[in-house]
């Protein structure tokens, strides 16, 4: 318990008033089955609440910070943010995998590295923080983690920009989209490099580079989509 208390204080300047609530957020059912003297509860009730809190917080963040986005853009961004891969990633960054109370057998099975469990623990922590300190504290924590990463482009990896570009340009009728490799350096197998242009009806609308043709095409599509959607 002391690890999570000191870790949250060190990493996020968070100090819980109700440490029993914090303990509940990181307690797995197998731990309670093995430690019958512990009369506490596991994280699941908090996870139920945390799911709804996260939906609200992400929607509020997008609505307030991206006032020029339409409903479709807001919905797509929310879907990319509120998912298992997202929550488990940030749970690891916050060292939540190190704080989970598990049975000895679950520890040996490395259950604390399970994406689904880490997603649940992230949500249970959010709920505990919400109950203990309210919406402002949750927003402050998310500003340092999830929302910071969004502003830095972390969630672009979950968006299929090639499909989005195709949908966008086909609104005006039938068009031809081609991805052309304009430069490549595949001599160094450890660090290959490719540059790709995306042509729409023969006209260059974006370019991208990456360590594979697929990655370069995706970045080219992303750049073209952003340029055309701003017109």
pLDDT reported for residue 230: 65
On whether the CB atoms of residues 3 and 107 are closer than 8 A, the answer is no
Q: Spell out the per-residue pLDDT of the chain, length 231, in tens.
A: 679 999 999 999 999 999 999 999 999 999 898 887 777 899 999 999 999 999 999 999 999 999 988 898 899 899 889 987 889 999 999 999 999 999 999 999 999 999 999 999 999 999 999 999 999 999 999 999 999 999 998 888 777 888 888 888 888 788 899 999 999 886 677 788 899 999 999 999 999 998 888 889 989 998 898 888 765
Q: Which long-range contacts (CB under 8 A, 24 or more apart) does 220-224 make?
A: 220/179, 220/196, 221/161, 221/162, 221/164, 221/165, 221/179, 222/156, 222/159, 222/161, 223/198, 224/165, 224/198, 224/200
On whether the CB atoms of residues 46 and 130 are closer than 8 A, the answer is no
On whether the CB atoms of residues 86 and 149 are closer than 8 A, the answer is no
Per the listing, tokens 């879907």 go with 79
Q: Which long-range contacts (CB under 8 A, 24 or more apart) does 101-105 make?
A: 101/23, 101/26, 101/27, 101/28, 101/31, 102/28, 102/30, 102/31, 103/28, 103/30, 103/31, 103/33, 103/34, 104/34, 105/30
Question: What is the domain class of 161-229 according to CATH?
Answer: alpha beta
CATH topology for the 2-158 domain: Ribonuclease iii, N-terminal Endonuclease Domain; Chain A (1.10.1520)
Angle subtended by helix axes 115-133 and 44-65, to nearest 10: 80
- The pTM for the full model equals 0.78
Active site (catalytic) residues = 51, 123
d(CA 80, CA 84): 10
In the chain, domain spans: 2-158, 161-229
32 phi-psi bin (left φ>0, alpha ψ -120 to 50, beta other): alpha
Per the listing, tokens 């318990």 go with 1
Rounded alpha-carbon distances, angstroms, from residue 59 to 84, 87, 116, 147, 170: 17, 15, 22, 11, 29
């Amino acid at each position: 318990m002391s690890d999570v208390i000191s870790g949250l204080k060190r990493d996020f300047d968070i100090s819980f008033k109700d440490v029993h609530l914090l303990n509940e957020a990181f307690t797995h059912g197998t731990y309670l089955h093995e430690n019958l003297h512990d009369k506490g509860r596991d994280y699941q009730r908090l996870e139920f609440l945390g799911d709804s809190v996260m939906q609200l917080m992400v929607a509020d963040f997008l609505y307030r910070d991206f006032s020029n986005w339409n409903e479709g853009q807001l919905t797509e961004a929310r879907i990319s943010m509120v998912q298992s891969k997202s929550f488990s990633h940030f749970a690891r960054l916050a060292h939540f995998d190190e704080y989970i109370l598990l049975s000895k057998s679950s520890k040996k099975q490395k259950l604390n590295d399970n994406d689904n469990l880490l997603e649940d623990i992230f949500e249970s922590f959010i709920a505990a923080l919400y109950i203990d300190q309210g919406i402002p504290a949750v927003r402050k924590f998310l500003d340092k983690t999830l929302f910071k990463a969004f502003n830095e482009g972390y969630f672009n990896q979950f968006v299929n920009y090639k499909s989005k570009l195709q949908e966008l340009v086909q609104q005006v009728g039938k068009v031809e989209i081609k991805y052309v490799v304009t430069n490549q350096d595949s001599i160094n197998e450890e660090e290959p490099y490719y540059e790709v242009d995306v042509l729409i009806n023969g006209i260059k609308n974006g370019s991208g580079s990456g360590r594979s043709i697929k990655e370069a095409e995706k970045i080219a599509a992303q750049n073209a989509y952003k340029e055309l959607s701003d017109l």
